[in-house]
């Protein structure tokens, strides 16, 4: 069992904690970790596997293997005391089974830089599982977005391999089918806090939606009650004013002893004091209601949805080889290793070298940590107006704009949203793009953000060239297919 007891964590650059007072137990089997980009999912996995140390609280049964989103290295030296070369060359049954199941080839290590990201991910998973199953690594396995970059065949291989794992497993993924198949419970992270719900992600999301609807109704009831009390408060305020007028001698003739006597008697008996007390009580009730409403609205959903910029190209052809027309919305598909990213890079290189001066937006499949830091640095150099507009778009893409300013190394999902919000196009250009090229745009994005991205691209005026293994995403956006 892995047990988290009142865990909190803050990065040095953070004003607010990433995770606050989280207590949860994890048992044998898979637990899905669900939340928006920047909610602390990867941070939680790193805490559980001992890569990070909690700012407060304690973890029992921690330590293990963490497989990150990035595929820069084979994780040599991280997954176990053995090397990746040992895995490939091993003659034991565990290594042979994993290499066969995940269709790992003998020469992958020697040509790592030429592998697709999907191929790299399969190797990472096989290597780490081998370390756990042979006892050279801890039995806790934390996997961060394992099906990113994978075609459908590879996804099925990953799902089957993970299903055979015996131990405590934590998985971050936006693949709803995988989460429903593997997980017996899901931990939902939001605003630094956690809620554990039984079942797969579909059941958990349905429960979260019911809770959100209930909270919305509560806010509406609080607002209605506040409006009703405001009317009553106004009535009581007028009553108090009338009472004060009755006991005032300001406009009484000094020789009118009868009226003065009645006022003195009213003051002595406190006959009109009840109106003032009643008004104070109502003020207190309205104040408590305001506090409750404020607390409720803080937990309400962030406004989302943003209109993507973009223009239709006025010429005849955007790209000649291969041919891309101004109204094309192209889905580029094919198995891992078929050359999709290679083709995309060829097109981008041609556009950058073209004399036609075509503005375009290109978001690559992977953004390195150095590139990520440069993007954040560019954000912070914007003037106040541009910064405000960018952060507003970033927020409406489903992420916290305050957090992105506090971090030096945002998550891959946050970087994708930030590039969209900033409108990063070819360095030579300041115009709105007439062509948007995205290589696996749904990778690293949380579930809500995928839907927001889809809505955004539906209404943009630019031509689209999208590489993705998400068939629903491509079906909803594209009218033409290139298949490799």
Q: How far apart are CA 110 and CA 288, in angstroms?
A: 67
Which tokens in the block code for residue 406?
């506090």
What is the rounded average pLDDT of the residues 348-372?
85
The Cα 166–Cα 283 span in angstroms is 60
Percent of the chain residues topping a pLDDT of 90: 28
pLDDT at 330: 97
pLDDT-wise least confident of 5-14, 183-192, 338-347: 5-14
Token duo for residue 188:
């939902």
**Token pair 């990065």 is at which residue?**
11
pLDDT tens digits, one per residue of 438-470: 998 887 787 778 878 888 888 888 999 999 887
Residue 297 — very low, low, confident or very high, per pLDDT cuts 50/70/90?
low
Cβ-in-10-Å burial (0-12, 13-18, 19+) of 472 comes to exposed
Report the pLDDT value the prediction gives residue 332, as an integer from 0 to 100: 94
Per-residue pLDDT, averaged over 126-146, amounts to 85
Give the span between the Cα atoms of 80 and 98, in whole angstroms: 16
| Span of 138-142, 201-205, 242-246 with lowest mean pLDDT | 242-246
| Distance of alpha carbon 431 from the chain centroid | 29
**Is the pTM here over 0.75, yes or no?**
no
Out of 78-87, 226-235, 324-333, 380-389, give the one with best mean pLDDT: 324-333
**Lookup: tokens for 303:** 């406004």
The per-residue pLDDT for 249 is 56
What the block records as the tokens of 97 is 């089974």
pLDDT at position 258 over 80? no
pLDDT, mean of residues 14-41: 89
Answer whether 249's CB lies under 8 Å from 260's CB.
yes
């Amino acid at each position: 069992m892995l047990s988290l007891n009142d865990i909190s964590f803050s990065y040095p650059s953070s004003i607010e904690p990433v995770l606050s007072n989280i207590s949860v137990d994890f048992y044998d089997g898979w637990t899905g970790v669900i939340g928006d980009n920047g909610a602390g999912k990867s941070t939680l996995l790193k805490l559980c596997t001992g890569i990070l140390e909690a700012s407060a609280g304690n973890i029992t049964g921690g330590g293990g293997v963490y497989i990150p989103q990035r595929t820069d290295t084979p994780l040599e030296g991280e997954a176990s005391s053995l090397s990746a070369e040992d895995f490939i060359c091993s003659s034991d049954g565990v290594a042979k089974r994993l290499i066969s199941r995940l269709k790992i080839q003998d020469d992958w290590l020697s040509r790592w830089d030429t592998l697709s990201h999907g191929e790299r991910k399969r190797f990472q998973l096989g290597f780490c599982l081998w370390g756990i199953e042979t006892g050279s690594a801890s039995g806790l396995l934390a996997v961060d977005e394992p099906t990113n970059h994978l075609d459908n065949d590879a996804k099925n291989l990953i799902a089957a391999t993970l299903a055979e794992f015996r131990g405590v497993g934590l998985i971050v993924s936006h693949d709803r089918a995988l989460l429903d198949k593997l997980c017996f419970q899901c931990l939902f992270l939001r605003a630094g806090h956690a809620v554990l719900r039984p079942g797969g992600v579909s059941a958990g999301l349905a429960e979260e939606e019911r809770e959100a609807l209930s909270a919305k109704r509560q806010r509406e009831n609080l607002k209605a009650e506040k409006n009703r009390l405001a009317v009553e408060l106004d009535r009581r305020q007028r009553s108090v004013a009338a009472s004060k007028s009755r006991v005032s001698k300001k406009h009484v003739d000094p020789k009118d002893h009868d009226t003065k006597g009645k006022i003195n008697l009213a003051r002595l008996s406190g006959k009109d004091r009840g109106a003032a007390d009643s008004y104070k009580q109502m003020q207190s009730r309205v104040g408590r209601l305001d506090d409750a409403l404020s607390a409720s609205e803080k937990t309400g959903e962030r406004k989302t949805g943003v209109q993507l910029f973009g223009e239709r190209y006025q010429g005849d052809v955007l790209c000649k080889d291969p041919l891309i027309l101004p109204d094309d919305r192209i889905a580029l598909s094919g198995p891992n290793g078929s050359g999709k990213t290679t083709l995309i890079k060829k097109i981008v290189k041609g556009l950058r070298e073209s004399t036609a001066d075509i503005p375009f937006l290109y978001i690559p499949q992977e953004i390195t940590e150095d590139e990520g830091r440069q993007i954040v640095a560019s954000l912070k150099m914007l003037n106040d107006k541009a910064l405000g507009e960018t952060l507003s778009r970033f927020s409406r893409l489903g992420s916290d704009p305050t957090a992105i300013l506090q971090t030096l190394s945002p998550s891959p999902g946050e970087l994708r949203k930030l590039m969209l919000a900033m409108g990063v196009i070819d360095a030579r250009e300041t115009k709105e793009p007439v062509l948007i090229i995205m290589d696996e745009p749904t990778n690293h994005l949380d579930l809500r953000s995928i839907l927001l991205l889809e809505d955004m691209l539906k209404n943009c005026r630019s031509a689209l060239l999208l590489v993705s293994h998400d068939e629903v995403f491509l079906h909803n956006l594209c009218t033409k297919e290139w298949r490799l």
